[in-house]
Amino acid sequence: MENKISTKSTMLNYGLVLGLTSIFINLIAYAIGIHLDQDWRVGTLGFIAMIIIIVLGIKNFKSANDNLITWGQSVKIGVGISIISGLIGIIYNLIFINFIEPDFMNLLMEKQVLAWEELNMTEEQIESSKSMMEKFSSPAITSAIGIIAAAFFGFIISAIAGAIMKRTEEDQY
pLDDT of residue 160: 98
The least confident of 59-63, 72-76, 104-108 is: 104-108
Mean pLDDT of 116-138: 92
pLDDT in tens, 13-53: 999 999 999 999 999 999 999 998 888 999 999 999 999 99
Task: Classify residue 147 as exposed, middle or buried by CB count within 10 Å of its CB (0-12, 13-18, 19+).
Answer: middle
| CB-CB contact of 53 with 21 (8 Å) | yes
pLDDT at 1 > cutoff 60 = no
Model confidence band, residue 4 (pLDDT cutoffs 50, 70, 90): confident
Q: What is the DSSP string of 104-172?
A: HHHHHHHHHHHHHHHTT--HHHHHHHHHHHHHHTSHHHHHHHHHHHHHHHHHHHHHHHHHHH-B-GGGG
The domain limits of the chain are: 7-172
